[in-house]
Amino acid sequence: MRAVVQRVLEASVTVEGEVVGRIDQGLCALVGVAQDDDGRDVELLVNKVSQLRVFQDAEGKMNHGLADIGGTLLAVSQFTLLGDVRRGNRPSFTLAMDPERAQLLFEGFCAGVRARGITVATGRFRASMRVALVNDGPVTILIDTKKAF
């Protein structure tokens, strides 16, 4: 699984003019599921995102995670994170998992973060979404459960 995680002051997802997910201070995670991902990848991503220390403590150091600050997570499925452009300019998405199975793993990720006591808002799987956010910092972290980067 791959994720682009951004520290935000606020974020929202709109589908067909309706806001379907919205958070205040917290993290916005764009999440892509690869063909060979499984429950181990879900658990790895749950652990990383829920424990990611990117919020400042009293000394200005990034020592706090979502639970420490009472923050929330906006999780947005995004298969395009698996886009491969090494052979040209049009992305190939052959590395992305088929949507039916990917949805199960994405929902497992959201459930795993919720089980840690963190409130999770989401977009709508397989919908055309408009994601709006106010990046705080900016702080942007890339996570790949296969440690590709």
As given in the structure block, the two tokens for residue 119 are 């409130």
As given in the structure block, the two tokens for residue 108 are 């497992």
- Per-residue pLDDT tens for 40-57? 999 999 999 999 999 999
In a domain, 23, yes or no: yes
Catalytic-role residue among 35, 51, 80, 140: 80
- Annotated catalytic, 25? no
Percent of the chain whose pLDDT exceeds 70: 100
In a domain, 148, yes or no: no
- Annotated catalytic, 119? no
pTM of this prediction exceeds 0.85: yes
Measured distance CA(99)–CA(109) in Å, rounded? 15
- Annotated catalytic, 103? no
- Per-residue pLDDT tens for 48-107? 999 999 999 999 999 999 999 999 999 999 999 999 999 999 999 999 999 999 999 999
Structural domain count of the chain: 1
In a domain, 34, yes or no: yes
In a domain, 37, yes or no: yes
In a domain, 24, yes or no: yes
Ramachandran assignment for 12, one of left (phi > 0), alpha (psi -120 to 50 degrees), beta (any other)? beta
In a domain, 89, yes or no: yes
In a domain, 149, yes or no: no
Catalytic-role residue among 79, 106, 109, 122: 79
In a domain, 130, yes or no: yes
Expressed as residue numbers, the domain containing 49 is 2-143
CATH of the domain at 72: 3.50.80.10
* Closest to 78 (Cα-Cα) out of 37, 34, 110, 47: 34
Q: Which residues pair with 74 in a beta bridge?
A: 28, 121
